[in-house]
Amino acid sequence: MKRKGVLSLLVMGCLLAACGQTSSTSGPSTTVSKSTFPPASSVPLSYRPLVAILEQRIAGLRERSAGLAPTGHTVLGAEVLYANGNLGPSLLRPVALTNATLELDRFQELGIKGVMIEITFPFLLPSYANSAGYLSFYEGVVSAARARHMEVSVEENPIFPGLSSVASNYSGLTLQTYAAEQRTMAQIIIDDLHPNYLTILDETDTFAAHLGLPLDSPSAAVEVVNLELSGLQRGTTMVGAGTGTWEDPAIDAALLDQTSIDYLSIHVLPIDTQSVDNLVTIEKLARKAKKPTVIDETWLYKDATPGEAGLLNDNEVTSLNGFSFFAPLDQAFLEAITSFARTHGVSFLSPSWTGQFFAYLDWTTSLDQAPPASRRAQAAAVQQGAMENNQFSSTGRAYSRLAS
C-alpha cells in the first residue's frame, strides 16, 4: 500500500527548516513547449530500463484521452506541502503560516487555481492538545488561499506512524468510534474552513494499516462512510470518499451505490495497465452514478513493479523524485493526467510532489548511493531556496502552461 506520509512529509521537514540553498531555475512562463521524453544519453545507465517502462506507461495513459474532447472544466490545483498535518507541532510555529502563504504566492504566480490541504485526524478535535492552535493555522491557510481566488480541497487523514513527528495511538478505536470522531472533526472543518471539497476516506488499504481497522473492503468502507455522513451538516462543502487506482474498484462502486457521497475521490500513482484500467473503470462508475470525481493526489510513480506491489517500495521510490533527469517524464505525466482529467470530466486535479515545481537535483553516483532520506533532504534544500527566490523548474513552468 502507499505510505503517503513519505510522499510529502520527509520533504516538508527540510522545507520548514528553511534550508536556504538556491536553484538555477528561472521564473514562471506560460510559453514553454510541450515536454518530450528525456534523451537516453541524459539518463544514468542503471535507470534507462525504468525510464523506458515509464515512457510506455505514460504513452498508455495518453491513449486513454486520445481523440476525446474536453468535458466540463477541471480546476488544476497543487498540494500545500507546508500545511500537511503530519508536520504536527511545527504547524504551531509562527513561521509555518508565513511559509504556507509564500507557497500559495508561488502557486498563484504559476496560475494554479486550487489547493489540496491534508489535515490530520484527530488534530482538530477539541479534546486534542493544541487543537485550537491547529485550527487557527488552517483558518489562516484557507483564508490566504481564498484571497488568491483558489478552490480548496481538504483530505482528512490519519497520522502516518514512523513518518510523522507525532506519535499515533489509535488503539481501542472501532469502526463506530472512529467514524464518530472523524465526523466531529469533519464538521469542524466544514463550519470553520468551508472547503469546496472534503475527502473523509481515501486509500482504504492505507487507512486500514495505519488506523488498525478493517476498512479495506466494500462493506467496511460503506459502513464507516455512512456513519460519518449521518448527521453531518455539509453546507456548501461537497464531501467525498474513494480509493487509489491500485485498489479494487468494487470499493468505489459500493461507495457510489450505497452512500450519499457528493463525489468520488481518486488517487493516481502507479500507471501500469491494470491501474489505468481501474482509473477508467472508476470514472465510468462515477458517470453512471452521476457523481463528479476529484483526483486529489497524483504524481508519476517511478517503479517498474505494477500496482500495489510496487507501492511496497515507496520509501525508496519517492526519493527518486528529486533527480533532474526525471523532469521531462514528470512533465509528460502531468500533461497526460491533465488531458485525462479534462476529457473525463474530473472536477479537480491536484499533484502531490509539488516541490519539483521549484527545483531538482542533478544525479551523481554519491547521491544515488545515499539513503532515501538524505536524497529527499537535499532535494528539499534546493526547493526551499528556489521557492524563496521566486524560481521555478521546467516542470513548474510546464504545469503553469497547463493551468493557464
Task: Give residue-wise pLDDT tens across range 267-323.
Answer: 999 999 999 999 999 999 999 999 999 999 999 999 999 888 888 788 899 999 999
Count of H-run helices and E-run strands, the chain: 15, 8
Cβ contact 92:133 at 8 Å: yes
Pairing of strands 114-121, 151-158: parallel
- The grid coordinates of residue 324 equal 533532474
Which conformational region is residue 246 in: left (phi greater than 0), alpha (psi within -120 to 50 degrees), or beta?
alpha
Is residue 403 within 8 A of residue 37, CB to CB? The reply is: no
**pLDDT-derived band at 162, boundaries 50, 70, 90:** low
pLDDT confidence of residue 32: 36
CA distance 4 to 157: 10
Q: Determine the pLDDT at residue 312.
A: 77
Contact 306, 270 (CB under 8 A): yes
Asked if pLDDT for residue 133 goes beyond 50, the answer is yes
CA–CA gap between residue 76 and residue 83 (Å, rounded): 18
Q: Spell out the domains of the chain, with CATH numbers in brackets.
A: 4-403 (3.20.20.120)
CB neighbourhood size of 274 (10 A): 14
The answer to whether the CB of 247 falls within 8 A of the CB of 204 is yes
| Total Cβ atoms within 10 A of residue 230 | 11
Going by C-alpha positions, the residue among 109, 195, 198 that lies closest to residue 157 is 198
**For residue 202, how many C-alpha atoms fall within 13 Å in the half-sphere facing its CB?**
30
Q: How far apart are CA 57 and CA 169, in angstroms?
A: 39
Residue 1 has pLDDT above 50, yes or no: no
Q: Identify the DSSP state of 45.
A: G
Model pLDDT for residues 218-250, shown as the tens digit of each residue: 999 999 999 999 999 999 999 999 999 999 999
Exposure of 93 by Cβ count < 10 A (0-12 exposed, 13-18 middle, 19+ buried)? Answer: middle
| Residues 6+ positions from 403 with CB-CB distance below 8 Å | 76, 110, 111, 112, 113
Nearby residues of 368 by Cβ (< 8 Å), 6 or more positions away: 44, 46
Q: In sequence order, what are the residues at sequence separation of 6 or more whose Cβ sits closer than 8 angstroms to the Cβ of residue 334?
A: 351, 395, 398, 399, 402
Radius of gyration of the chain (CA): 20
pLDDT in tens, 28-83: 433 334 456 777 778 999 999 999 999 999 999 999 999 999 998 999 999 999 99
Query: DSSP characters for 2-40?
Result: --HHHHHHHHHHHHHTT-------B---S-PPPP-PPPG
